[in-house]
Every structure is written in C-alpha cells, then in structure tokens.
C-alpha cells in the first residue's frame, strides 16, 4: 500500500513526500478511503498508530475540493481533542499536510488568555482545532458559530471520559448541524463511549487497529523490582547509560512528577515536568526542550503525556506502574513507533505488584525481570498465561511492515512517520 494508491490529490502527495513519509500506517490505509468517500468513521485506534494523519489528510482534500476556503469566514471543519498539547500537535499536522492549499486554521485551548485566539477567529478560518472547555466558552461569548460545520472530528473520546469532559462534548454535539461528516476516534470503547458514538455517527465505516491489549513488537520491555525509597537511586543508575540521550519518565501524580524533577536537578540532570498544574508556557517550553535534545529527562503524568509526539523516542521509564493496565500500553506506545526500535523500563515496588499482575494479564506477556524481588514476606507472582501455555516474554524484537523509506537502494527505518 502506498499513499498514491489512496487516490490522494497531488498537493497532498507533495506535502507527504516533503514530510518524508513513504507508506501509510494501517489506520491510514483503512480510514482515508472511508473519509474520502464521505462516510462517517468509527476508528478504534490508540496514540502512535498514525490516526492524526488518518483524519487530517482526507479532511484537507475534501475541504480543498469544495473550493470555498476563506471565502465567507465560516468554520467548516472542527476537531475536538482533550488536551492542549494534543491540540497543538494536530494544528501542526494540518499545517504540514495542507501547506499547498489555501486552508486557514486556528487552534484554541484553555490555560492562556483568549485575546490572540479571538483575533484569529475574527480574521476568518476554515478549520478549528479546540479543547472542549475553551470551545464552549467562546461559543457562549459569541465568537464561534458551529452552524456551518461540515466535518467534525472527536479525537481521544475515551480520554474525554477519563478527564470529565464527556458532558462538555455532549453540549458541543447538540449545537452541531445534523448534516455533517463525523469522524470518531477512541483507543478503547467503554459503554458510555459506545453510546456516544451511536448517537453521533450514521452508518459509519469501522476501523480497528492495534488493540489496546497489545504492545508493539519493536519495544524491548524490562522491569526492576525496586523498594519505593530506592527508586531515585535506581533512576540515576539507569541514566548513567550515556546511550540514553533522552527519556520520558511517567509518574501517577503531579506531585510525584515534581518530586522526581527536583531530585534529578539536585543530581545535576536536566529535567522538567509536564502536567496539568503547569502553565501553558512551562509545558510548551519543556516539550520543546525535550524535542530539540536540550532537555534529557521529561517527567509526565498520563493525561499530560497524551499529546507528546517525539520522533524516534527510544526510551520510556515507568517510575511508578499505572493502576490501570491499559495505561501501561499507552505509556510505552510513545516509543517503538512505525518500525523504530524502543525500550521501556518499569520500576515495581512491593505495593505495585498487583498492578504488574494486571498489566501482564492484559498484554498476555511476562515482562522480563532483571532482578529478583527483595521485598520481605513476598512470593514471586505467577507469570501471565495465554491459553494455558507459558507466557511469552516481552523482550521481543520485530518490525512492522510499514514506516520504512528507501535510501541508497536499501531499506532503512523511516525517521518520520505520518502521525
């Protein structure tokens, strides 16, 4: 499968080529034809599968083909996403794929003053990327009308539910026109999200890739049993490895993220935290530093990390195991994307052993342990089983059949993939 075979316009193909992409990911190859046909779409796809390009590329083409962009200062396309970071990333993606079109777009989110966002809206746009709260605020203030929406994307629907935005999303859906093309993306489909999809979508085409219970085969997973009070020391030991040029570290709480950063800075390691209590400028500065290599360690909570998209990120560390097993899959999915190799390290304290058991049961793999537990009065947990057979180890090396580009007549890992 190639992008050319998806019947994309020349101006889209040119932009894709300039971005260095050669082959579409599975979600792109399945979703793009559905969207171009004008049908609604229900896609069960997690972060890291290329879903942003799966809706951005066909939307740009459909809007460009109507040849009405910028003419009447009306918003025709709307993308609603849960976090500021993800909104910015989607905004950048639309800008990249639509660079050879006349599309005018804006991104709005809370946590910053609204003046510059209002100016962009007044100037006239075709496409709006927004977080739910700021979108509703500006609708109520009369700066935004959704009566002309022709294309609507709800991104990360399950995360909307987790973050308590589901009622805001329902309010937004109520003011949208009845006739529109709706694209619905969610990594998981709990009952409330399924009900929402049934209300929003009309006879949708369905795409499901990379189930939430699976981890990419290109990720080398390993785990250390660590006493809670020894995690900082073990983290420094890992950072002694000079091959680790950058690493994304996950904690369960904002307070925990700040504590890890404070310790690392005292230990002369460049680190910053990204979470909901940080200002927009602080979050963006941390993300920019991590992307350009000036910041070695980025410590994040799960919600804040959903918008992080760093090319060729090789290392992820679970300083604390998540209490929701699906979150483990999302976390380590930040690395090992589109055929690139990655490593995911996890720390497991005594009180986290039930979390480890749940994670291994979900992914149906036994994560390789690099040491024996030293916890008092504990017994080794049984390894995860699959169909009554010994669990596979997660130290797998493999490659997917996409995300490559040719160089000097040889195949090499694609440094960029259409995400």
Q: Which region among 57-61, 195-199, 370-374 has the lowest average model confidence (pLDDT)?
A: 370-374
Residues 183-201 have pLDDT tens digits of 999 988 889 999 999 999 9
For the chain, the domains span: 4-208, 219-405
Asked whether the predicted pLDDT for residue 325 surpasses 50, the reply is yes
Residue 341 pLDDT level (bands cut at 50, 70, 90)? confident
Provide the pLDDT for residue 377: 47
Provide the pLDDT for residue 133: 96
Listed in order, strand segments (DSSP E) in 1-158 are 41-44, 77-80, 105-108, 127-130, 151-154
- Indicate the helix (H) or strand (E) that contains 252: none
Q: Which region among 22-36, 246-260, 365-379 has the lowest average model confidence (pLDDT)?
A: 365-379
**Mode of pairing for the β-strands spanning 297-300 and 315-318:** unpaired
Which whole-number Å values give the CA distances from 295 to 78, 254, 312, in the listed order? 34, 19, 15
Provide the pLDDT for residue 391: 42
- Using alpha carbons only, what angle is made at residue 332 by residues 328 and 337, rounded to the nearest 5 degrees? 140
Provide the pLDDT for residue 417: 37
Provide the pLDDT for residue 384: 39
Question: Domain 219-405 classified CATH 3.40.50.300?
Answer: yes
CATH dotted code for 4-208: 3.40.50.300
Whole-angstrom distance between the N-terminal and C-terminal Cα of the chain? 17
Q: Do domains 4-208 and 219-405 have the same CATH topology?
A: yes
Q: Taking the mean position of all CA atoms in its chain, how far away is CA 309?
A: 7
How many H helices and E strands in the chain? Answer: 15, 17
Look at the block and give the residue holding tokens 């709800």. 154
With H, G, I as helix, E, B as strand and everything else as coil, classify residue 390. coil
Residue 306 pLDDT level (bands cut at 50, 70, 90)? low
Which tokens belong to 60? 């740009």
Put simply, whether the predicted model's pTM sits higher than 0.85 gets the answer no
Q: Tell me how long the chain is.
A: 419
Residues 220 and 223: their CA atoms lie apart, in Å, by 10
Residues 210-231 have pLDDT tens digits of 555 667 677 899 999 999 999 9
Which tokens belong to 139? 């609708």
- Indicate the helix (H) or strand (E) that contains 367: none
**Structure letter (DSSP) for residue 369:** B
**Mode of pairing for the β-strands spanning 151-154 and 181-186:** parallel
Residues 14-51 have pLDDT tens digits of 999 887 787 898 999 999 999 999 999 999 987 667 88
Asked whether the predicted pLDDT for residue 415 surpasses 70, the reply is no
- Indicate the helix (H) or strand (E) that contains 363: helix 353-363
Q: What sign results for the dihedral spanned by CA atoms 366, 369, 372, 373? A: negative
Asked whether the predicted pLDDT for residue 388 surpasses 50, the reply is no
Nearest to 269 by CA among 303, 246, 243, 301: 246
Contacts for 362 with CB less than 8 Å, ≥ 6 apart: 213, 325, 326, 328, 329
Higher-confidence residue of 400 and 187: namely: 187
Contacts for 165 with CB less than 8 Å, ≥ 6 apart: 82, 132, 133
Residue 387 pLDDT level (bands cut at 50, 70, 90)? very low
């Amino acid at each position: 499968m190639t992008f050319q075979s998806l019947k994309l316009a020349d101006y889209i193909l040119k932009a894709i080529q300039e971005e260095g992409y050669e082959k579409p990911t599975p979600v792109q190859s399945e979703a793009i034809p559905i969207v171009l046909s004008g049908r609604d779409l229900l896609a069960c796809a997690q972060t890291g599968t290329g879903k942003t390009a799966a809706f951005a590329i066909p939307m740009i083409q459909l809007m460009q083909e109507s040849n009405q962009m910028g003419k009447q200062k009306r918003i025709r396309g709307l993308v609603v996403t849960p976090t500021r970071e993800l909104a910015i990333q989607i905004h950048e993606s639309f800008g990249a794929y639509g660079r050879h079109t006349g599309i005018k777009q804006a991104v709005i989110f809370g946590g910053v003053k609204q003046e510059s966002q209002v100016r962009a809206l007044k100037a006239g746009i075709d496409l709006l990327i927004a977080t739910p709260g700021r979108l509703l605020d500006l609708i109520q203030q009369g700066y935004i009308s959704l009566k002309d929406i022709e294309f609507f994307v709800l991104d990360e629907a399950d995360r909307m539910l987790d973050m308590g935005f589901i009622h805001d999303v329902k309010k937004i859906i109520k003011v949208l026109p009845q006739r529109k093309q709706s694209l619905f993306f969610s990594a998981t489909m709990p009952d409330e999200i399924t009900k929402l999809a049934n209300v929003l979508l009309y006879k949708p085409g369905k795409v499901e890739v990379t189930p939430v219970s699976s981890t990419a085969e290109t990720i080398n997973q390993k785990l250390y049993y660590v006493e809670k009070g020894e995690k900082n020391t073990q983290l420094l030991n890992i950072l002694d490895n000079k091959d680790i040029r950058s690493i994304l570290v996950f904690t369960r709480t904002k307070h925990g993220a700040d504590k890890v950063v404070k310790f690392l800075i005292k230990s002369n390691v460049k680190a910053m935290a990204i979470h909901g209590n940080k200002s927009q400028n602080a979050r963006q500065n941390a993300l920019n530093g991590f992307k350009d290599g000036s910041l070695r360690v980025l410590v994040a909570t799960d919600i804040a990390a959903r918008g992080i998209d760093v090319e060729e990120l090789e290392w992820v560390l679970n300083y604390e195991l998540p209490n929701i097993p699906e979150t483990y899959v999302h976390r380590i999915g930040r690395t090992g994307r589109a055929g690139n190799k990655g490593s995911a390290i996890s720390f497991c304290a005594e009180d986290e052993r039930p979390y480890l058991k749940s994670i291994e049961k979900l992914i149906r793999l036994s994560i390789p342990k690099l040491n024996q537990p030293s916890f008092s009065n504990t017994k080794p947990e049984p390894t995860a089983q699959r169909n009554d057979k010994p669990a596979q180890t997660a130290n797998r090396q493999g490659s997917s059949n996409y995300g490559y580009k040719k160089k000097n007549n040889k195949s090499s890992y694609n440094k960029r993939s259409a995400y």
